Amino acid sequence: MVRKEIFRMTTAEKDKFIAYLNLAKHTISQDYVISTGTYEQMNNGSNPMFADINVYDLFVWLHYYASRDAFLEDGNVWANIDFAHEAPGFLPWHRFFLLLWEREIQKVTGDENFTIPFWDWREAQRCEICTDEFFGGTHPTSNVLLSPASFFSSWQIVCSQAEEYNRLGIFCNGTNEGPLLRSPGRHDISRTPRLPTSAEVEAVLSISNYDTGVMDRSANFSFRNMLEGFAVPTSGIAYRSQSTMHNSLHVYLNGSMSSVQGSAKDPIFVLHHAFVDSIFEQWLRRHQPSLDVFPEANAPVGHNREYHMVPFIPLYTNGEFFVQSRDLGYDYDYLVESGSFQDFLLPYLEQARQIWQWLVGAAVVGGLITAVIATIISLLCRSKKRRTILEETRPLLMEAEDYQATYQSNL
């Protein structure tokens, strides 16, 4: 299965994708329900509190639940917890999220060949997919609403009131909370001056460490933290005053996608994270990390290698999705086109980059040894030559009458 860039899809493929999104938005999931109350509110399970939800909003809720603040027994809220962001599990969690989303759309539509498209936002000067042809232009009389000509202008969103849920001590229950909001480019420019460039993506890919230090948003020289957008891509240093890379898109779109917990409300979320996943895939192929690279311990809550990803059922660990996409049955069109030779060569180039000092040292030592051996051989040859000349009893050339044309000599 190959995921395609949205602008490389045919008109028929693009229209089918949008139709599938609308179908998912209006189809109740046959396999899942959502929890609408805490275990305590359910009276230790004796009073079940669950609700049906459509297939699209199921994934909005899953993303909300993994990122939501935790309710403590004393009535307080623990905000510094997130099972899907700001730690090593960020990339494996979203990789499985997209795979599960893809499979559910396949089941709803009966299209087993469906794959998620992605939006390659490198060098983008604006939101190129924020048009009525794709995911909705701007409303003519409002900077935050979508154009009435867009399919998505009629969408109602869920899980958008995190502060209210905390105040009341309740979960998002899947009820509609208003229209989809988006105002691309009308964000805090000082926080996100522009969208990421190809050079910045390459700088992030060059980092060999998957995660470092305390493995949160303050990690330096961490591929995960740089790609997530909490570090400067050109230096690798964590910098909380700016949102870069993955985070920059959320800030730039300036609407429903800009709040962490409910950001999956906007369908652009899926295309954005598919491209982020493709960058993760490039890193895996370039550096060829073993599973041991993913931390076994000391990561933030829920992010160790063998911890199960919240709240997915059946259960899967973070480590199970720290593998190349081809092992999971999918690829990206621009990575397929890059060719197998490049995939073969890059790991060796990366190893050479990491040990270049030793290679240079070995070359210097080898050169010195070669020079010494050559000198010894040269001296031995000269000594032998002198002995040969002294012992010579015949002239180099034969007598004139015996002479025949030849290049051969006694030597």
pLDDT digits (tens, 9 = 90+) for 97-135: 999 999 999 999 999 999 999 999 999 999 999 999 999
- Determine the Cα angle at 160 with ends 178 and 177, to 5°: 25
> Residue 45: what pLDDT?
84
Angstrom distance (rounded) from CA 208 to CA 335: 19
> Residue 97: what pLDDT?
98
Q: What is the mean pLDDT of residues 185-207?
A: 97
The contacts of residue 235 (CB under 8 Å, 6+ apart) are: none
- Predicted confidence (pLDDT) at residue 35 exceeds the cutoff of 90: yes
- Establish whether the linkage from the previous residue to 311 is cis, with ω within 30° of 0: yes
* Eight-class DSSP state of 93: H
> Residue 269: what pLDDT?
98
- Predicted confidence (pLDDT) at residue 407 exceeds the cutoff of 50: no
For residues 122 and 410, the model is more confident at 122
CA 10 centroid distance within chain: 25
Note whether 244 and 191 are within 8 A (CB). Answer: no
Q: How far is CA 212 from CA 200, 215, 222, 223, in A?
A: 20, 5, 6, 9
Angstrom distance (rounded) from CA 82 to CA 300: 9
- Establish whether the linkage from the previous residue to 314 is cis, with ω within 30° of 0: yes
pLDDT digits (tens, 9 = 90+) for 59-79: 999 999 999 999 998 889 999
Note whether 240 and 189 are within 8 A (CB). Answer: no
Angstrom distance (rounded) from CA 211 to CA 297: 12
- Predicted confidence (pLDDT) at residue 310 exceeds the cutoff of 50: yes
Phi, psi of 279 (to 5 degrees): -70, -40
Angstrom distance (rounded) from CA 98 to CA 24: 14
The contacts of residue 210 (CB under 8 Å, 6+ apart) are: 88, 222, 223, 224, 289, 293, 294
pLDDT digits (tens, 9 = 90+) for 222-252: 999 999 999 999 999 999 999 999 999 999 9
- Establish whether the linkage from the previous residue to 117 is cis, with ω within 30° of 0: no
Q: Classify domain 2-354 at the CATH class level.
A: mainly alpha
Furthest-apart CA atoms within the chain: distance in Å: 125
- Predicted confidence (pLDDT) at residue 190 exceeds the cutoff of 50: yes
pLDDT digits (tens, 9 = 90+) for 132-164: 999 999 999 999 999 999 999 999 999 999 999
- Predicted confidence (pLDDT) at residue 349 exceeds the cutoff of 60: no
Beta bridge partners of 308: 317
Task: Dig out the tokens for 280 from the structure.
Answer: 């993760």
Beta bridge partners of 157: none
For residues 370 and 345, the model is more confident at 370
Which of the four pLDDT bands, split at 50, 70 and 90, describes residue 351? Answer: low
Q: What is the mean pLDDT of residues 42-56?
A: 94
- Predicted confidence (pLDDT) at residue 341 exceeds the cutoff of 70: no
* SS3 call for 365: helix
> Residue 75: what pLDDT?
85
Q: Domain-by-domain residue ranges, the chain?
A: 2-354, 361-389
- Predicted confidence (pLDDT) at residue 284 exceeds the cutoff of 60: yes
> Residue 380: what pLDDT?
65
Average pLDDT, whole number, for the chain?
89
> Residue 337: what pLDDT?
81
Q: How far is CA 291 from CA 219, 296, 321, 352, 360, in A?
A: 20, 9, 10, 21, 30
Which of the four pLDDT bands, split at 50, 70 and 90, describes residue 344? Answer: very low
Taking the C-alpha atoms of 23, 33, 169 and 302 in order, what is their torsion angle to the nearest 10 degrees? -100
